[in-house]
Structure 1
């Protein structure tokens, strides 16, 4: 009986041990039930470690903290069967612990295999931590899928905080489906999104946005693909479809090892050809066929490029170019608008009581309307909506105002100025132009021409009757000309002029209110023989000469004889130039005793000087001379006593025209501190200046165009006044001297007595 009871006890105890042994294994492996489920999952301060039923969390009393909720009251729900976190208007703040070592807002990790996490968004959600979301696998790939109709702002703070961080021993994949996600890195050195692979070979790092949007920014970069192993040739895929929008402050790929940085491959991924727009900093690119879901504005410094094979349909929206650059506009179907850009640089001046008209200009989509938004136009002027400024200004001045150009997508303003000048009296007359009469042969009949004089000022003018020596001048048609009026007179060569050339300026003078103005008409007339002899001219180094010949100006032919029987061609009369005979003169440096010279060439034929061997640059003899260096003639090491009426004079053997300035103790003197005159260069420091100097030795420096020289002089204090009085006193000095002698004698006797007494005592 006892044995039976014992057997039952042993059986029950064994069963209990088996049950106790099985319970922990069930708890530990619960999260791994679904494929790729994380072995560690932290949501804010809450660690989800076990269970196969949904976990419900809600916001706690502390901002960002989570406590257990229910299926009727939750902001975070986790379904282990689908490895899905659903966020509904949730605020999550990361907390450091032994498991969540990154302090992430959401931490999903696997230490031995792949890790996968789904996040579904409802309403507006915020997740933050050292890393906002951290999905890491130490033994396989890492995947994160974010979907839903809500939005998510995920941020990493402090240090090198990262918004979304994914680390994998294999490939890492981030997928966003129809959701709006903003990923922010820290302001120190973080990234908005960072994907890392530690696999050798050819792992892939993929971000795919299927509809919806991803905005990523950080102090270091917006999106960062990193391969941190040796010998890796990773590929970075950035795929867009369903009209997705990706905006990153910048997108980079780097390596940490001997392998190469991942090759970035942005492209459209929609099976139906749809793609999206990827913005890398301020440079956007359209991939695939995209239909805008909202207006796009390309601001100054930004550019949007529609690559070959891609297209952009604006749909019910539009592309607005506001100072940026749009490349591939021919691939756009729909509306493209350009905001105005004012191209008017400045406006012309106006004058009081004179009509003014100008137009403002701007680039941009029409219609563009204009108006003044600050300041005022000059009185009397108006700006129309089409950009025209018209009217008659009535008051002088400088008018500064701001104009604004607007269209249906934007506006731009610019400050402009119109200066209105007053009308000054102008006294002016102009003539109809110079006159050249046809050449004539002796015995000519004079030709008559008319000269017109116009008052082109703004004041009346009274004309004086003009006259001439070689020409007959007719009477003015009128003497008084109002503004804009014209007078005329005739001019013709006088009869009987002998052969020769006649040229004269006929001056027409007008006056008004003491003001005198004039204009002159140059009149030319040549009287010729039937033939003109041209004397022989010997050629020079540079100029052609000619033989003796005769020329008939009427027929413009050349002849060898005075009888005009042997005709020549013009080139047969020319004697070619002989060319220079140059001698090179080497450069000679100047000294204090003699001038030098530059290097030059001299032609003994034409007695000319040149600065180059080809004789292309002629110079004068004076240009070849380098003046001799300055040298002290006198004045060095002088002494001057304060109070003296005479100054200190220095003479330097250099032309005074070369003088630049004089300095004492390094300070340039004013013109009032010295007198200077020629005779070489003679400069005297004035007593008034010397009195300002301290007693002692001073350095003086003379600077010339040809060089500089230095010397020293000494300033002494004025002599003791008592000594001066003694030197200038007659009788008083004499008595004073006797008194001094008596005192010296008395002192000597006293001293002798004392010395004698000491000797006596010593004995």
Structure 2
């Protein structure tokens, strides 16, 4: 059994060793790239492109690749799904066979460059294939899917009537977008090809958008061909430089839908050997060259800006009849009657001249114009010393002026520390009061405005306090503790030393300084008495404030408001007669609850007499009646009592005598 298991494991190891084509590709982490807007982004994980690649991506998935160093693939690469390719700076990726991006499989290819934009891609369709350099194959697979280029240096060459970028033989395209980079797209040698787009007889309705970068598109019949149904646009910013040309004796530089016009185009656009500015103010995103056989004209009312870090090389001819602004580098001669302005970047100073102009929030100056410099107000503790200029070849005269060169220039005011040997003054001195400490003041140099000597604090003065006695509380009003007020600053204090400030007097009187209201009492209605079942309204008055009333309690429980009425006059509570008639016999306690306490008293409900008997009330009434019926005989009461006793004694004596006589007989 062990031998069999060992044999299986050994066989698997041998199979894996003989399958190098299945080795896992290297994964590169944290790779940077520039997005469509030119902003740097980071891809967490990307697969390194190798020479063995024939397929990039997976159906219905997004896959990232990065080309590094020199890589040559000797066959056509098929893009599957949504593929993103990063051309690392310095790389050289060659695909002999080109790159297939199919519309029918919904394939997408997006290409990025890095910060320096030096990564290169060469995509050559195989001879005799009829394929696009980047895009479609032959019909029925000739139509390309979505292709986006954001950066890098891309060269794409088609075969036959296949486009450099776009449709293959007899194929169209879905969407081609170029936002940046340097792109050279050349169609096949057969008649009918285009540099970018479709073939001569194509009727695609795709879109071509070139909003940035430098694009050179050459075909046999058309430079850029969207067919008579498609559209060509440049975006709204005018960052693209486009060279469109064709090699046949007849053709067009651009072909697009008859419903489209060029009014919305923006950028530097060459048709054959003639270039012009589309839009009013154009700033290309990439460096470019005007070749020796071409002329670029800046018409009156239009302007061209070469941004910092970019270069315009004039090998051919540049005719400026408008305005030309240079932030970057200009190599060559400018003709025409328009003005050429070079960027002037002042730091810690201002510039003035009749040759200065503001453009896109920057300062520019005409070549050979006289510029005057004025240092800004010195930093505290410093004095103006000299000028720092780049390039150093520019000389600043003693009167702080210079002649603007034919290149961008920066000038900076330089400073030295002040020796503080001039006049001085004291600032910020302040007399002490009972609310704030004083200050002796700081000593400043009047030459450089720097503080030389810092002052010191002066203790606050004492408060002058007026005593305000306490206010005693009543049943209806709260009182407050004693307090003091400063007659100088009007502040209030809760102590005679003036250390505990009362910032909110009314708040203090209602809080820490408050003396609570006195407990309330029943001032009317005490000791009332009624008979059980008697319908009689009972009224009770609490001396608490009417506004402090909360509720009524009877025998410890809250009494419903439907059983009483309340009225002002302190607090007057009247128990409803019908409710009183329902109360059981006995002593009851009523409480009138208010915010200052509970005022209580009792009242009595006497027990009602049973039928046929007199209750205590009846007996009292009879006694009162008997009393009222008596006459003046009250004076002989003692005589009547004596006669009754005598009669009783006689009766008792007779009875005793009779009993004894009977006994003797």
Q: If the length of structure 1 is used for normalisation, what is the TM-score?
A: 0.28
Structure with the largest fraction of strand: 1
Identify the structure with bigger relative contact order (alpha carbons < 8 Å, sequence gap 6+): 2
